[in-house]
Chain A
Amino acid sequence: MTAYLTIRDVAKSYGRATALRRIDMEIARGEFLTLLGPSGSGKTTLLRILAGLLEPDRGALVLDGRDITRSPAWERDIGLVFQNYALFPHMDVRGNVGFGLEMRGIGGAEAARRIDEALDTVSMRDYGARRPSELSGGQQQRIAIARAIAIKPRLLLLDEPLSNLDAVLRQSVRVELRELHQRTGLTTVMVTHDQVEALTLADRVALMDGGELLQIDPPERLYECPASAFAAGFLGSPPANLLSVEPHSEAGAIRLCGALWRPTGPAAAALSGLRGPARLALRPETLRLLAEPAPGAIPGRMKAVEYMGGERLAHVAIDGAAPGTPALLVRGAGALADPGQLVYVLPGSVTGVFDTDSGARLAPAQAGV
């Protein structure tokens, strides 16, 4: 990958609070990258540093071969779409979209043509004379995007662009954003705390927590092969079950949350090298609920079943588990058992085995590079 945007060793603190610890990242030309993480993970700080609204304490930013670390925001040619859209209320739509052109000394017919072009891109050509206050939230957001792309930015930054829209609109705008990206080919960095947005939109997702970059990978890989226990426990709805595992004196057996378990198949393979306490991640949708005992199945008792529309989420208390062990979540279509009944949970694939203290991935080894 030839890097179009390089973020090298960037750190930022506010007084004693560290917002970004040490970020290294490379983004390819035309890539759609999402910065995903809980609040306080530093994703917005990183976006603001890219935009030039914050100065990093150290580190460097190189965009298209040019060091922009010390460039002021107004010289960066970076389009920015704000969470609250930040459309200028005293200008009409064309005034807003043309603002960046005006600042570049582009006027007259050329400006009019580029404003039309930007408005066409978001299908808002007929709204040019409206004031922002006369537009709905979704329309304001389109104008905010048109304003950002009218300057033909070298990088497009989106700060939680969908969070102020209602659920139905959010989905359609998500699809539009993806189409917009494909049409314009703009290198895009989007901040979000919504994993569905991150996974559906991005070529790659950068998962952040506590000011650190934990993993940067394509969505499938991030989801199916998380590099850390945090990633496994953050992604998915509900996220992966994280179960404590320990080697057992008996060969081939595992101590699962204190209970004896004899895994088979992929689980046995993943746990074969276990030397000490670790955490096993099993995604709820990879588990199967059985009524009869089977080799490799975990016996447990049904605690509750939640109907989620089309499928059910079963909460299973593992038999013999240590007190305080959370219920095992199993997602599936079957309405297998009533609460209190004995059930058997058979793992399919294993999402990962992680070090108890560091959260680092131990097994299975990540495929590919």
Chain B
Amino acid sequence: MTARGPASWLTAPGVALIACVFLAPFALLVAMSFWSQPNGTLLVDPTPTLVNYERIFSDGYYLRGLGRTLWLSLVTVAVSVVLGFPVAFWIARRAGRLRRLTMAVMLLPIVCGALLPTLGLVNLLSPLGIVNGTLKSLGLIDRSIPLLGTQTGILIGLVQAFLPMMVLPLVAVLDRLPPSYEEAAKSLGARPAQVWRRVVLPLAAPGLIAGSVLVFCASLTSFVTPQILGQGKIATFAAMTWQQASLVLDWPFASALAMVMLGLMAALGGAVLVLRRGARS
């Protein structure tokens, strides 16, 4: 007899939980995005309509918010690739205590959640914070650089929060890349830059793609980090959604905003799948 794991009925609670607290509310969200809420009332009209989507794609405020959020997410991905690749490669080529320690440090942002490190960053980045203080005492600047309430500040927060999501999949891929691939390429006449372009990068691509998708989706939907570091001055798409749901109390419109974010992620996921299938054939 083959080992079949726990009996099937033992999976029921877990599956049921996901079904009840994730799938059901999610389905409601999808449906609600096609409802409407007449101005000045809190009553919902469940007649199917595209009015919420029309509003998002015709109002410059939301389009600009969408563009800003996309831009922040893409830059976060780019910076994470540049910072994460060397770290991942370094980890993959090490063994023992130093490797475990570096991995643990890279995992910290995930373990700590969003709030704690972000509040720490506020101290670091504020006009009277450590970064500006140090730069001033070194005489490099005489007026504080505005970091809080700017896109730069948000970017710093997003990268520190999501860099592990780039590094971990990359380490997983690079771990399975024996050094002899690079050595073989070298012995065949490839210079270091060619070794990277023709051998390391193509073989690391699955990890780069996985990491990029993870960082992109996490940045796109991130709420706490941009909200705190942006000090409410920079509205991201997630913040707009939260405003509509919690302040304006227009749930159908908030649902539509959430659907747009979701659509973006689904489109990205689909594009990656198509690309991978294309690369394989």
Contacts and interface: CB of A to CB of B under 8 A. Distances in A.
B188 A100 contact: yes
Interface in A164-179: none
Given A88-B199, A90-B202, A90-B203, A82 B189 contact: no
A1 interface: no
Q: Which of A79, A90, A104, A151 lies at the interface centre, i.e. has the most chain B CB atoms within 10 A of its CB?
A: A90
Interface residues of A, number: 26
Contacts of B199: 88
Contacts of A73: 183, 186-187
A78 to B, nearest CB: 6
Contact of A82 (B183, B190, B202, B203): B183
Interface residues of B, number: 17
A53 B186 contact: yes
A77 B189 CA distance: 7
Given A84-B180, A86-B181, A78 B187 contact: yes
A205 interface: no
A236 B78 CA distance: 60
Nearest to A97: B188
B178 interface: yes
A74 to B, nearest CB: 5
A79 B203 CA distance: 23
Interface in A50-106: 51-53, 72-80, 82, 84, 86-90, 99-100, 103-104
A147 interface: yes
A122 B187 CA distance: 20
Nearest to A81: B184
27 contacts: A52-B186, A53-B186, A74-B187, A74-B188, A74-B189, A74-B191, A75-B189, A76-B187, A79-B187, A80-B183, A80-B184, A82-B180, A82-B183, A84-B178, A86-B178, A86-B180, A86-B181, A88-B181, A88-B184, A88-B199, A88-B203, A89-B203, A90-B202, A99-B185, A99-B190, A100-B189, A104-B189
Contacts of A75: 189
Nearest to B183: A53
B152 interface: no
Contacts of A103: 188-190, 194
A52 B187 contact: yes
Q: B-side binding surface: helix, strand, loop or mixed? A: helix
A87 B185 CA distance: 9
A90 B190 CA distance: 16
A319 B124 CA distance: 86
A84 B177 CA distance: 12
A171 to B, nearest CB: 25
Contact of A151 (B185, B189, B203): B189
Interface string B147-190: 00000000000000000000000000000001011011111111
User: Shortest 8 CB-CB distances between A and B: which pairs?
Assistant: A100-B188, A103-B189, A86-B180, A80-B187, A86-B184, A73-B186, A82-B180, A90-B202
Q: Which of A51, A53, A84 lies at the interface centre, i.e. has the most chain B CB atoms within 10 A of its CB?
A: A53
Nearest to B194: A103
Contacts of B184: 80, 82, 86-88, 147
Contacts of A82: 180, 183-184
Q: Which of A74, A90, A148 lies at the interface centre, i.e. has the most chain B CB atoms within 10 A of its CB?
A: A74
Contacts of B185: 88, 99
B178 A53 contact: no
Q: Which of A76, A80, A147 lies at the interface centre, i.e. has the most chain B CB atoms within 10 A of its CB?
A: A80
B188 A99 contact: yes
Interface in A260-303: none
A53 B199 CA distance: 17
A151 B178 contact: no
A52 B178 CA distance: 18
Contacts of B186: 52-53, 72-74
A25 B188 CA distance: 25
Contacts of B183: 51, 53, 73, 80, 82, 86
B205 to A, nearest CB: 8
Given A88-B199, A90-B203, A103-B194, A151 B188 contact: yes
Q: Which of A79, A80, A86 lies at the interface centre, i.e. has the most chain B CB atoms within 10 A of its CB?
A: A86
Nearest to A98: B188
Interface string B195-218: 000110011000000000000000
A171 B198 CA distance: 35
